[in-house]
Amino acid sequence: MFSLYIHTPFCKQKCRYCAFHSAPADEMQKEQYCNALLKAIENAEHRPCATLYFGGGTPALLGAERLARLMKKIRQTFGLLPDAEMTIELNPESTTPELLSALKEMGFNRISLGVQSLCDKELHFLGRLHSAERAKDALSEIFTAGFQNVSADVMFGIPGQTEESFSSTLDTLLSFPITHLSAYGLQWEEGTPLGNAPQPMEEETEETLWLLLCRKAKEAGLEHYEISNFAKEGYASKHNSAYWRRTDYLGIGPAAHSFLHGVRYSAPEDTAAFILNPDPLQNPLPIGERDAYEEAVMLGLRTKDGIPLSLLPSGFDFERYQDFSYIEHNRFILNERGFYLSNTIIQGVLQ
Ligand code: SF4
């Protein structure tokens, strides 16, 4: 299985918590960037894509015409398998019916919408550009345009967020026929405006929100298939599953990662440098036996499939983790409480 990721490092404005490589850009930079992507696509080793993912940043800022050029080039070079999953990330403020109909025409069949919250106070705190009303309208427009496989991103742990406000966000989101939900705890990254702001939410409150999320997703028929992801049956993200299963993928763009033939690559976080030399495989990071083992444990324990018992160290203390895990089909799997404490448990396994 082969997956292709195309990165767009542009955003209208930085969200207050964002540590990703993204910045505003003018039309000339967008054109230069699109040409660099086309060159990288042309020069890559071509294999038919089982999944294609346009992420960012805000891919929509490239505009429909450039996105169509990129899609055409990908079809001509890599090719797409007949049932390929083709996702594009959208933000509510840049989603329009015209753009959606162009994306449909290009063949995208999955939308991932950055909702984050449906409470205006929380959106304002995060520095998002959209309102709750715009996010709901964008969701309606996506379904009206005929997309059936739709994911929404939400955040918990936002200061001021309460059980009531998070519950209301989830209820409204889940009243739409979304097939997938991604949920992330707000991170206070150094170097972001939020990194210097007053303290994050208390851990106990955050855990309450997490358990609320797990319960509401379950009630809505979404399976918790990875720590941060929930899906209706048959709608788990094939693209992200490729990362967790360690199958081959190529990421094109600054700060994009690739994993090909057992070697990882990480492109520099520098858009100007990428425009000058759009080679995604400049920095190989060979993986030793121990690295491969640690990756398999870390990535496996993030998912509902867990890891084979054979990957656990000899003398592993099952009793210590009995409230957070279970064993099924000779696999060690974390339960929901275990997912919440996964970092600590993974450290325990890898000791
Ligand atoms: S839209 Fe996403 S990538 Fe862009 S600034 Fe906000 S969080 Fe960062």
| Average pLDDT of the residues in 197-221 | 89
* pLDDT exceeds cutoff 70 at 28: yes
Give pLDDT tens digits for 300-340.
999 999 999 999 999 898 999 999 999 999 999 999 889 99
Nearest CA to ligand 1 atom 6: 15
Return d(Cα 117, Cα 168) in angstroms, integer: 9
For ligand 1, which residues put their CB under 6 angstroms from it? 11, 14-15, 18, 20, 22, 56-58, 91, 114
Residues 220 and 302 in one domain: no
The verdict on residue 259 lying in a domain is: no
Spacing, Cα 226 to ligand 1 middle (Å):
22
The verdict on residue 122 lying in a domain is: yes
Q: What pLDDT is recorded for position 275? A: 97
**149, β-bridge pairs:** 110
Residue at a domain's end among 243, 275, 298:
243
Residues 19 and 111 in one domain: yes
* pLDDT exceeds cutoff 70 at 161: yes
The verdict on residue 228 lying in a domain is: yes
- Cα 349 to its chain centre, rounded Å, is 25
The verdict on residue 257 lying in a domain is: no
Residues 191 and 307 in one domain: no
Q: What pLDDT is recorded for position 55? A: 97
Q: What pLDDT is recorded for position 117? A: 98
| Average pLDDT of the residues in 26-48 | 97
Tell me the C-alpha to C-alpha distance, in Å, between residue 133 and each of 153, 182, 280, 314, 330.
16, 20, 39, 54, 47
The verdict on residue 270 lying in a domain is: no
| Average pLDDT of the residues in 333-351 | 91
Domain that holds residue 343: 288-351
* pLDDT exceeds cutoff 80 at 150: yes
Residues 86 and 232 in one domain: yes
* pLDDT exceeds cutoff 80 at 197: no
Residue at a domain's end among 243, 276, 307:
243
| Average pLDDT of the residues in 213-223 | 97
Residue at a domain's end among 208, 224, 243:
243
The verdict on residue 222 lying in a domain is: yes
Residues 12 and 104 in one domain: yes
Residues 294 and 231 in one domain: no
Q: What pLDDT is recorded for position 198? A: 66
The verdict on residue 283 lying in a domain is: no
Spacing, Cα 8 to ligand 1 middle (Å):
11
Strand 110-116 to 325-328 pairing: unpaired
**Both structure tokens of 192:** 């972001």
Nearest CA to ligand 1 atom 7: 18
- What mean pLDDT value characterizes the chain? 95
Residues 145 and 12 in one domain: yes
Residues 187 and 312 in one domain: no
Give pLDDT tens digits for 93-142.
999 999 999 999 999 999 999 999 999 999 999 999 999 999 999 999 99
Domain CATH for 46: 3.80.30.20
Residues 51 and 154 in one domain: yes
- Angle, helices 342-350 vs 289-301, to 10°: value is 150
Residues 230 and 307 in one domain: no
pLDDT band at 195 (very low <50, low <70, confident <90, very high): confident
Residues 116 and 36 in one domain: yes
Using a cut of 0.85, tell me whether the model's pTM lies above it.
yes
Query: In the chain, pLDDT over 90 holds for what percent of residues?
Result: 85
Q: What are phi and psi of 112, to 5 degrees?
A: -115, 110
Residues 50 and 183 in one domain: yes
The verdict on residue 113 lying in a domain is: yes
Domain tally, the chain: 2
Return d(Cα 69, Cα 65) in angstroms, integer: 6
Q: What pLDDT is recorded for position 282? A: 86
